[in-house]
Structure 1
Amino acid sequence: MALRAKVRSAPRAPASAVPFAKPVEGEIPRAGLRQLRAMAADCRACPLWRDATQTVFGEGPARGGVIVVGEQPGDEEDRSGRPFVGPAGRLLDQALSEAGLDRSELYLTNAVKHFKFERRGKRRMHDRANAHEQQACRIWLAAQWLRLRPRLAVALGAMAAQTLFGASFRLTRERGRWKDLDARTRALATWHPSAILRAPAPTRQLRLRELVRDLRALAAAMRELRGESD
């Protein structure tokens, strides 16, 4: 009930206000990032909140013009409340550095805001959010999108890419290609760092190079937006 009260007290926008290929359910709350974070912390739209430590909402500059969307938080993210601080986050930081970028320039978030896992003894092993859980959480990504009004977006992994581009999108075919989401925003999709970490050694090195190449394309697009030359 707390979530409903807070959403009703905030201005709302129709689901069509964001250029996602996958639908957003309900009207999107419009508020500052701090208020949205507090609202999302009370979300009970799917069962994931019951076992997760906290909502992992997102972080970064509100006016940077760039959003990077991952899939869902892992164990270290769940404990800290911050996105991309575990092994995948450290690999992302490495790739960003090689591409000439710093994470402080980017707004980082995930398509799903709670850690989903299964227990194996004392360990909490990552489990992919199902379609219902992804759908329930999409309203928070939409709310972030409306607040940030990004000019550039990068989707890390298939879950984020299909949210933006549709269920038929395939990373193996369309990775690294800029696409217009609407008149304002261009987006591309690339490998999620966790998928790189899981890949066998030869594939891991290839995908890491491709991730860095795609992030360099992002860096070039950011310079273009700022009116800087190479």
Structure 2
Amino acid sequence: MKRVLIIGASGGVGGAVAAACRARGDAVTGLSRSADGFEITDEASVDAHLGGLEAVFDLVLVATGALEINGAAPEKSIKSVSAQAMMAQFAVNALGPALVLRHTGDLLARDRPAVMAVLSARVGSIGDNKIGGWISYRSAKAAVNQIVHTTAIELARTHKQATCVALHPGTVATPFTRKYLGRHPSVPPEEAAENLLNVIGGLTPDQTGGFYDWQGKEVAW
């Protein structure tokens, strides 16, 4: 039995991963805003919830995120950027995970392999960006990739068996993406969860600091 912590356990992907882990016999702790009052952009809330956990975990998954915040859709071009919308994206998609990752050293087991995984998105890849648009969301995801990479470097000094990565779950059919699926192929949350857990299960410490997709393939920064 493994101990698993899911941040964003009430969301489509987070909930599906939590369910899949429970089905495998894992002991799952879930935190979310709707069920627990966990506010990922509020420093005091993050510290209170994570600081109150007594166990260490074999897997911590940060499955929070937002594509559209307060009705602000992804921009079609740089001309559409607004300060308010961009700051909101950074708060949810970069600052929030950073506040969680600040607790990584206390959350992860040191005496055995353990994984800290943060859901990112392929559109956060600078090298893969060929069409532009979605400035705020892209930039926030690029920022969280850097946050994960930096955390991995620091974590390796104290947790020799740990792996800290950013993961792209693919296009998942959830309320989060419904308006933006278009012609893109998508998978249900349950399938995405199995894909992610398969990737996580195959990770090794020499992959720490990397950015991987749902197939386990490395994504360009």
TM-score (norm 1): 0.36
State the TM-score, normalizing by the size of structure 2: 0.38
